[in-house]
């Protein structure tokens, strides 16, 4: 299947309004304009900007949507989502690495996105079921298969964008609960890690 490369105007505008360098560790900030993943430390990366743009364009968050950012890393995607839904308090973010939770919290506050809810991931729990359902869920780490735990957190009429086994998947839940899955192009991501119990 051909990779869908369409980037929406709203995504472009968000990426101009929420600059990547604000969310990068100082030692890699000089490389922010390069279209490649950049290290955040702890074996994790800030994703390549064109990949972030494709994912956000597919997710298509609208003003007023409740959204979840799984694998918030630097906090950049959470801030982009807050810009796109036009309300910080509708954005929930979860990150596995405690040091990155602290980094993202600092960067989000400094960049004016202090009302985003950011939590440390429980190793047994995927996503944020306590705050579900979400209209849109963005996952920035790769799962081996489509996790039921996240599917259950998608609202009726909602959407999940997630890399699964090397491909980007766009998963829609209709108002009547029917699930459709579109498989897009190949992307490389760090692995989504959890015990699989939750």
Ligand X SMILES: C[S@@+](CC[C@H](N)C(=O)[O-])C[C@H]1O[C@@H](n2cnc3c(N)ncnc32)[C@H](O)[C@@H]1O
DSSP 142: B
Task: Kindly provide the residue ranges of all beta strands, DSSP E only, lying in 25-153, ordered along the sequence.
Answer: 38-41, 44-46, 67-70, 91-95, 117-120, 134-139
Return the residue nearest ligand X (CB atom): 71
Q: Fill in the per-residue mask, 70 to 109: x = in contact with ligand X (CB under 6 A), - = not in contact.
A: xxxxx-xx----------------xxxx--x---------
Nearer to ligand X by Cβ, of 50 and 174: the residue is 50
Q: Crossing angle of helices 98-110/76-85, nearest 10°?
A: 50
Q: Crossing angle of helices 9-17/76-85, nearest 10°?
A: 120
Within 106-165, the residues that bind ligand X by CB under 6 A are: 121, 126, 140-141
The stretch among 66-74, 81-89, 158-166, 168-176 that binds ligand X (CB under 6 A) is: 66-74
Beta bridge partners of 142: 191
Task: Report whether 157 contacts 173 (CB < 8 A).
Answer: yes
Q: How far is the CB of 190 from ligand X (least distance, A)?
A: 5
What is the binding site for ligand X (CB under 6 A)? Answer: 44-47, 70-74, 76-77, 94-97, 100, 121, 126, 140-141, 189-190, 192-194
């Amino acid at each position: 299947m051909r990779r869908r490369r369409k980037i929406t105007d709203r995504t472009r505008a968000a990426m101009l309004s929420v600059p990547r360098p604000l969310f990068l560790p100082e030692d890699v900030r000089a490389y922010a304009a390069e279209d490649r993943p950049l290290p955040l430390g702890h074996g994790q990366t800030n994703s390549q900007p064109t990949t972030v743009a494709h994912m956000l364009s597919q997710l298509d968050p609208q003003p007023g949507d409740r959204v979840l950012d799984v694998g918030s890393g630097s906090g950049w995607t959470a801030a982009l989502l807050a810009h796109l839904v036009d309300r910080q308090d509708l954005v929930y973010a979860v990150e596995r690495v405690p040091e990155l939770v602290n980094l993202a919290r600092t960067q989000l506050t400094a960049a004016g996105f202090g009302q985003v809810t950011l939590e440390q991931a429980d190793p047994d729990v995927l996503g944020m079921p306590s705050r579900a359902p979400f209209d849109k869920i963005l996952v920035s780490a790769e799962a081996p298969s489509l996790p039921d735990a996240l599917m259950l957190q998608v609202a009726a009429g909602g959407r999940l964008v997630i890399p699964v086994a090397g491909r980007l998947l766009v998963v829609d839940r209709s108002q009547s609960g029917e699930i459709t899955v579109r498989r897009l192009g190949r992307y490389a991501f760090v692995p989504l890690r959890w015990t699989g119990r939750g």
